[in-house]
A and B are shown apart, each in its own frame.
Chain A
Amino acid sequence: MKLFKKTSLLLIATLVLTLIFGFGYQTTTLAENDYEFRVIVHLADDTFWIPAISGTEKAGESLGVDVSFTGPSTTEIGEHVSMIEDAIAADVDGIATSLPDASAFNDIVAEAREEGIPVVGINVDAPDSERMAYVGEQAVEAGRVLGENIVKHVGEGGQVAVGSSQPGQTSLEDRFAGAKEVMDENNIDYEFIDVTEDITTAVERFIDYYTANPNVDGFFGVGGLSTHASSSAVETLGLQGQVAAGGFDLLPETLTAIKNGYAQFTVDQVPFLQGYYAVNQLYLYNEYQILPVDINTSAGVVDESNVEEVIELSDDGYR
């Protein structure tokens, strides 16, 4: 009897497992074509990626290929590498991945290439790896755009704080380096502050900076979170019109802040294109042996002139 109870429990457990996984399995769209591509990014459950997911899905639909979008929910490099390893084991036809470390991905990308799987880097690049091309912003160049806009809003010789939630992260560092060049040319007095990865703490860091330096002319961020925090700090302190704010990425909060005048601009790296072009390049390579090429997706600046339209598109998941 007891054994019977155990066995039936086991069966139920297996059934539950099957149902759960079956549900999970359904989420990948069935392919009309044989190609199966895998897009793997760091911090994959971040809202930042929503337009990128739309981009991969749009590309997958129009090309008739099977694309799955996945990645570790942390910045854990080990896990990210493991997931590329798993994609190789699953024998996919192409991998698009962010490469958030300069050297850690070299081996695994080389292994994928050896297995004949094309690899395209997106969002963050590791030029030393054997990825075939990089689709994303050119971070230093995007940083210069930030710098130019800072100068535009605080004027020459102003004093600003530039926040980063992950000091040491290559692309954020590069953006800052780009901004620095422009700011140096225009005699802007800047301080680089670590605002941490927690939004509440980040806002407090800007407020603390203001307490220490009441003459500040602007708060800026080199990433999505720090930009969101810069505008929130202006709003909290009630300094709109006196202290400028802005930075990177189209977080809904940042867009709302621009609309309400708490922030002046944000530089868009167009994540939609990163997903869209990467899948297209993988398809073209598989189908016609067309080698992937580098694509710079950093382009537009969103400010009060176009923020309304962008908000609409963002709500639909395209920007």
Chain B
Amino acid sequence: MGNEDLLNKIKKIVTRQSFGVFIALIAIWIFFGVATDAFFSFNNLINVLRQSSVIGIITVAMTMLITSQEFDLSVGSMFALSGILFGVLTMTVGLNQWLAIIITFAFAILVGLVNGLITLKIGIPSFITTLGTMMLLRGAALVTSGGYPISGFRELSFINIVGGRFLGLPAMSIWFLLIAFAGYIIMNKTKLGYKMYATGGNTKAAELSGINTTKIKLIGFVLTSVAATIASFTSIGFLGMVSPTQGQGFELEVIAASVVGGTALFGGSSSMIGAFLGALIMGSIKNGLSIMGTSAYLQQAFIGLVVIVAVIINVQFQD
């Protein structure tokens, strides 16, 4: 009786979508643990979590958006522009920091809405729309900042929320954990998540069921844009500065993390635990290679290979 229950439980865990990702992460960890002495130290594992955080925070939202069958390539540029906007408002204009934060988030929501409305109302594929806004926002970041990085954030008190450490963990990774948890709850427990899965699974069926799929997707676009902004704030908290050129290529890294985590590129299927682990995998590879002192020429190629291998492992563990 009890044995059977346990067996069933194990079976349920093993056949879960995210189990393959978990195995891939463990395999990577074991490898780096054997290859280097330093990888498995407590401090380094915290480093891994912190270094995965920026990509991870955006991955959570991107996973939700891909689940509802859309993409957002503008997150990397938004990661730069929102920080620059905040920097200009506080440092150049001299606005109150909290007001500046509100304005920055309002702007992020606006960008999400613009991405979404162009895609959904005019009917341009989101891949193209956000490719356009990706360049547009990058340009805006460069123009607004005059190309210069902005620093001096350490004097603002908000830095205490996004920077520093709590309970021994860097603030950045606490935000990541919180957002990943919220993402898990949204996708698995709320009506919104339910509707996102339905929208991505069969848009027509969802529409015929009376779901406003346009609204659901629009929420997804707003969330990626807002997540990129939160990520930008945590980056400011960590570095004390923001550069208009930061975040280039993040969009692809984020999509890769999400896909490694088991998100189907055509929507309808994803796992938040998987996405979380996917972001950790990306962070672990970079950290491990960097600890080994691998040449810069080889790092990119390794990451690409590991992404492919991780996806293969993941697919094998799914039906």
Contacts and interface: CB of A to CB of B under 8 A. Distances in A.
Q: Do chains A and B touch in the complex (CB under 8 A)?
A: yes
B305 A168 contact: no
Contact of A70 (B27, B31, B151, B294): B294
A71 interface: yes
Contacts of B169: none
B241 interface: yes
Q: Identify whether the interface residues of B are mostly helix, strand, loop, or mixed.
A: helix
A82 B51 contact: yes
Given A20-B305, A45-B297, A10 B289 contact: no
Interface in B190-225: none
Contact of B294 (A27, A92, A168): A27
A215 interface: no
Interface stretch (B36-44, B102-110, B112-120, B181-189): B36-44
Interface string A166-189: 111000000000000000000000
Contact of A45 (B286, B290, B296): B296
B89 interface: no
Interface in A45-90: 45, 68-79, 81-83, 85-87, 89-90
B31 A18 contact: yes
Given A89-B41, A104-B239, A70 B290 contact: yes
A9 B312 contact: yes
Band of interface residues on B = 35 or more
A14 interface: yes
Contacts of B317: 6
A18 B32 CA distance: 9
Interface stretch (B64-72, B142-150, B268-276): B142-150
A77 B27 contact: no
Contacts of B39: 89
Interface stretch (B126-134, B243-251, B257-265): B243-251
B146 to A, nearest CB: 7
A16 interface: yes
B80 to A, nearest CB: 10
B31 A101 contact: no
A17 B246 CA distance: 30
A222 to B, nearest CB: 13
A52 to B, nearest CB: 12
A129 B294 CA distance: 26
Interface string A10-53: 10011011101100110110000000101000001100000000
Interface in B289-304: 289-300, 302
A17 B286 contact: no
Nearest to A196: B142
A83 B316 contact: no
A18 B30 CA distance: 10
Contacts of B238: 78, 81
A194 interface: yes
A13 B25 CA distance: 12
A106 interface: yes
A278 B296 CA distance: 19
Q: Which of the listed residues A69, A71, A83 has the most CB atoms from chain B within 10 Å of its own CB?
A: A83
B291 A17 contact: no
A107 B149 CA distance: 17
B39, B43, B245, B312 — most chain A CB neighbours (10 Å) = B245
A312 interface: no
A79 B47 CA distance: 12
Contacts of A27: 294-295, 298
Interface string B137-160: 000000001111101101000000
A282 B245 CA distance: 32
A43 B186 CA distance: 39
B235 interface: yes
A72 B293 contact: no
A82 B300 CA distance: 16
A14 B27 CA distance: 7
A304 interface: no
B177 interface: no
A102 interface: yes
Contact of B27 (A17, A68, A107): A17
A198 interface: no
Contacts of B300: 73
A74 B146 CA distance: 20
Given A76-B246, A81-B239, A168-B145, A71 B296 contact: yes
B35 A16 contact: no
B27 A103 contact: no
- Indicate the member of B41, B148, B239, B246 with the most A CB atoms within 10 Å: B239
B163 to A, nearest CB: 9
B292 A25 contact: yes
Give the top 4 A-B pairs by smallest Cβ distance, nearest first. A68-B293, A168-B148, A44-B296, A167-B147
Interface of A: 5-6, 9-10, 13-14, 16-18, 20-21, 24-25, 27-28, 36, 38, 44-45, 68-79, 81-83, 85-87, 89-92, 101-104, 106-107, 166-168, 194
23 contacts: A9-B316, A14-B31, A17-B27, A27-B294, A38-B293, A45-B296, A69-B296, A73-B300, A78-B239, A79-B286, A82-B51, A82-B287, A86-B44, A86-B287, A87-B290, A89-B43, A89-B291, A91-B37, A101-B243, A104-B151, A104-B239, A167-B147, A168-B149
Interface of B: 23, 27-28, 31, 35-39, 41, 43-44, 47, 51, 54, 145-149, 151-152, 154, 235, 238-241, 243-249, 286-287, 289-300, 302, 305-306, 309, 312-313, 316-317
